Chains A and B, each alone.
Chain A
Amino acid sequence: MINYKELGFKAGLEIHQQIEGRKLFCHCPALVNDENIPNIKFKRKLRAIAGETGEIDQAAKFEMSKDKEITYEACSSSSCLVEYDEEPPHELNKEALEIALQISLLMKCKIVDSIQFMRKTVVDGSNVSGFQRTALVGTDGFIETSKGKVKIETVCLEEEAAKKIKEENNSITYRLDRLGVGLIEIATHPDIKDAEHAKEVASIIGMILRSTGKVKRGIGSIRQDVNISIKGHSRVEIKGFQDLRNIPKTIENEIHRQNKTKDELPHVRKANPDFTTEYLRPMPGSSRMYPETDINVIEITKEFIDSIKLPELISEKTMSIKEKYNINDNLARELIKMGIDFESFVNEFPKIKPDFIANVLVEMKKDIQTRNKKEVTMQMIQNALSYYNEGKIGKDAVYEVLVDFVLKGDTDLSKYKQIDESEIEKYIKEFISKNKALTFGALMGEIMNKYKGKIDGKKASELLKKYLKP
C-alpha cells in the first residue's frame, strides 16, 4: 500500500478532447482519420526562434538539436492552405467556442471577458506553422468527486496537432488530416488524492465533455495527461494513456520508479501499455506563448453567455430516467450513451411498458445485430414498436418483425396478427386431449410454434395451465 500523504503526493490532470464539426480556423471538416490516400506531400524545416528573453525555449532547442527534415502528407478532402501554413487562419469556428463555453460553465468556471488566442511554440513539426493556437476561455471552476471538490484551473480552446506517421533518423512524417481540429484542454488543480482518484476525476471530466453531445468519440478522441510529484522529486508529466483504466497502476509504478531514482529535471514521460513509463522530452519552458495577431480578440458578453444552453449531464440524465421509469442502471446508461431521447419514446408508445422499450432499444437491437450482422435502424424500431402499441402485433412479435425488417426490408403483418383467444383456447383443448402424454414444456413449444408471433407467451402459458388442470 502506498501512503500518499506521507509521500507528499500531488497530482493534477490535463485532459484534451477533440470536438466535432469543422476545424477551428478553416472550413475543412474535423476529420481525424481521413480514409483517402494523401494526394499532397511537401517538406519543411522548422527553425528555433529566440523567445521574449532572447533565449530559445528549452523544449524548442531540444527539438532543433535534432535538425530534422519534416515531411507533411495531406488529403485535399481534409486540409487546405491554412493547414499548410500557406494562408492565415480564418475566423474562429463559433460553434467550437460555444462548446468550450458550455464545458467551462458545466465545470462552474469563470469565463474571461475577452479571449485572446496565443501562439504556443511547438518545434517538433506537429504544427506546420511552428506554433499551436490556443486560448484561455474559463478559469477557477470545480467538479465534485467522491473525495471532495477538485478545482479546475483552466479550460482552453486550441488546435489539434498533426499525426506522426513515421520517424527515422533525420526525418519525420506527419499527416495533416487531424491538424486544426478543435480541442478542449482542461487542467485541474493538483487536488487529486491518490492514483485511483486520478482515474475517477478523469472519468467525471470525460462524462461532462460527452454530455455536450458535440465531442468526438472513439480511440484517441480524448487524451489524459497526468502531472505528478512526490516529495524530493521534480514534477513529471505522463502522456499517452491508451485507457482510463491504466491510470492508477501506471501512477503507482511511476511512484515506485521515482522512489528508486535520484531527483531528475522536470520532464515528460510516455505511458506504456504495460503500465510502465519512458522518458519523452524535457518539460517545455514557460516563455513559449505570445499573441496570435491574425485573430481578433473575442469579447464574451454577458448576453452571449446567457444565450448558451447547458445540456443535462449524462450522470444526471441516467439517474433521472432510471428512477422515473424504473429501469435498470445498465440499460439507463446504455440509452444515454447511445444518445437516445428515451422520454420521447415513452410518450410516443403509451401502451408499452418503458422497461420493454428500453430493452428493445438496447438489448434486442444488439442481439439482432450480432445474429444477423446487419444494422437495426431507429426507424425499424420505431415501426415495430408502433405496431405493438397499436395492437397490430403482440409483444413477442416485436423481435420477429425486427428480424424481418433487417433481413427482408419489410414484414408481413398478417403473419403476426393476434388471433382470437377463443380460437386458441379451442385448439389447446383439442390438442391436450389428443396428446395427454406430453409435458407442459412440449405442449408450450408446439403451441408457440403454431401461433408464432400471434400469441403472447404469457397468455399461452396461462391457457395451458387452465386446461392442464385435472
Chain B
Amino acid sequence: MAKKYSTLDKIEVDLKDNVYRGIVMPNSDSKTLFLKLESGYNLGILSKNIKKIKLIKKVSKNKTQSSHKIKHNNNLPLISILHTGGTIASKVDYNTGGVISRFEPEELIGMFPELEKIANIESIFISNIFSENLRFRDYKKLADAIEKEIKKGVKGIIIGHGTDTLHYTSAALSFMFDHLPIPIILVGSQRSSDRGSSDAALNLINAAYFIANTPFKGVGICMHKNIEDDSCLILPPLKTRKLHTSRRDAFKVVNSNPIAEVNYSKNKFIMFSKSENEQGTWKVKAKFEEKVGILKVYPNLNSKQIESFKGYKGLIIEGTGLGHISTDNSPENKKIFNTLKKLSKNCVIVMTSQCLFGRVNLNVYSTGRDLLKIGIIPGEDMLPETAYIKLAWLLGNYKKQEVRQMISKNLKGEINKRLDLEFL
C-alpha cells in the first residue's frame, strides 16, 4: 500500500473489526503505526492488521510563537546562558515525546519567568550534545564562547550542561581560565523539564540569583542541596562528583566544602568560602593532551590492560584503598608491576583512589613504596576525574618535567591539604 499520509496527519485506520482515528506519530515504522487518539492516548497498530487508511486532515504547520516580550531592565545585571546540551532548557515536543531544545531568550523566560526579575538574559547556543559525548575540542569551543561573553562585560555566565560529565567540564574550565573576572556557574538537571517536578527551574533560577548577587569570581556548579525544592548548593568545580545515577542531589562535595547555599524564594544566600580572587588579568589556556587515560584497579586485573596505554603521555590509576594496584610476586601481578614500570618511563602516572573520599598514601604499605620507586606520583586527595582533566591539561600546556612537579601541587583548589570530618 502506498503511503498516503505523513507524520502528524490525522487519519482514520480501518481494522477488521474496529476503527481508530488519530494523528500519526513519528515513532511509526513499516511494521507498526503509532496513533495519538483524540483522548490523548497513543497506541500501536500492526501494519498487517490494517485494512484501509483514510486521510482526514493534512498536518498544518504549527506556528509556535512565544507571546512573551522581554523588556530590558537597566537596574538588573546581564547574565549569559550558554547551552551545551542536556535536559536543562530543553522542552518536550508533546506531539512526539521527543525532546526539543529551546534557546531563544523569550522561550527561556517563558519557561522560567522568575529569571526576568533577576537579570537581563542573553541566550547563546553552543552545542546540543549529551555530556557523555563531549570531547576535549568541545571544552575549547566552550572556552571561546566564554571569552566572548567576558569581553562583552556580562555579570556572569550560566552554562546549561548534561549532568553525566558535568564535573569533568567544571574541572576543565577551572584549569583553562586564570583569574576569572566573573562567576561561571554550571547547571544541570536530573529530571526532564517537561514535568512539573523538574529540578531544572530551581537550579537555573538559583544560579542566576547567585550570580546577580555574589562577589564570587570563578567556576561553580549549582544543583539541588537535597531532594526538596528548596535550596541549591554552589559546589566547588574540582571537588564535586556525581554520586547518584538519578537523584536531584546527585552532586556531592568530596574532600571539601560547598562554596555557597542559595535560596531564591527565601531571598538569601550564604557563602561558605571566598573565591581566590587573586589579582591579575584573566587569561585562558585551552589545550589538552589527547593521550591520557584512566585505569581502574580490580581483582584479577590483566597486564594487557596496562599495555594498552602504550604510547600514552599520562595515566591516572584509580587504585584500591590508599592507592594500590596488584603488584605482589604471583606471576600475573609481577607482570603488571613490570608493565607499569616500563610504561612510567615515558608516561606520567598518577595514583588516585577509587574510594573517592580521603587521600592516597603510598608509604603505608610496601606495595605503595614500590610504586613510588618506579615513579608513580601520589595524587593526594584529588578525585580521579579531576586528576584526569588536570593531567591532560598540564600535558597540553607544560613540559613533562613541569607536569611531574605541578600534578601534586594545588593549583586551583583541586588538592586539599587539610581534610576535616565532612563525609557524606
Interface residues of A (CB under 8 A from B): 42-54, 60, 81, 84-88, 110, 112-116, 118-121, 123, 128-131, 134-136, 139-140, 154, 156, 286-293, 297, 299
Contact = CB atoms under 8 A, between A and B. Distances in A.
B363 interface: no
Task: Name, among A110, A120, A288, the residue most crowded by chain B CB atoms within 10 Å (CB to CB).
Answer: A110
Task: Name, among B64, B91, B229, the residue most crowded by chain A CB atoms within 10 Å (CB to CB).
Answer: B229
A276 B42 CA distance: 36
Contact of B93 (A45, A52, A114, A123): A52
B49 interface: yes
B194 interface: yes
Contacts of A291: 25, 27, 42, 96-97
Contacts of A293: 97
Given A110-B18, A135-B41, A290-B194, A44 B110 contact: no
B418 interface: no
B229 A112 contact: no
B46 A289 contact: no
Interface string B399-416: 000000000000000000
A143 B228 CA distance: 47
B196 A47 contact: yes
A114 B44 contact: yes
Contacts of B25: 291
A44 B197 contact: yes
Given A44-B229, A119-B195, A129-B197, A290 B97 contact: yes
Nearest to A288: B40
A131 B229 CA distance: 17
A52 B8 CA distance: 13
B41 A136 contact: yes
Contacts of A115: 43-44
Nearest to A125: B196
B43 A114 contact: yes
Interface of B: 15, 17-18, 20, 25, 27, 32, 34, 37-46, 49, 62, 64, 66, 91-97, 110-111, 191, 193-198, 201-202, 226-230, 245-248
A88 B97 CA distance: 16
A121 B196 contact: yes
20 contacts: A42-B226, A46-B196, A49-B193, A81-B247, A84-B227, A86-B227, A86-B248, A113-B32, A113-B44, A113-B46, A113-B49, A118-B40, A119-B194, A120-B40, A156-B41, A289-B39, A290-B94, A290-B95, A290-B194, A291-B97
A33 B15 CA distance: 43
B18 A289 contact: no
A60 B226 CA distance: 26
B279 to A, nearest CB: 42
Contacts of A287: 40, 94
Contact of B92 (A114, A156, A290): A290
A46 B42 CA distance: 25
A116 B15 CA distance: 19
> Which 8 residue pairs spanning A and B have beta carbons closest together?
A114-B44, A130-B196, A52-B94, A291-B97, A289-B40, A46-B196, A136-B41, A112-B43
Given A86-B246, A116-B44, A291-B96, 4 more contacts: A52-B94, A116-B43, A136-B41, A292-B97
A289 B25 CA distance: 13
Contacts of A130: 195-198
Contacts of B44: 112-116, 297, 299
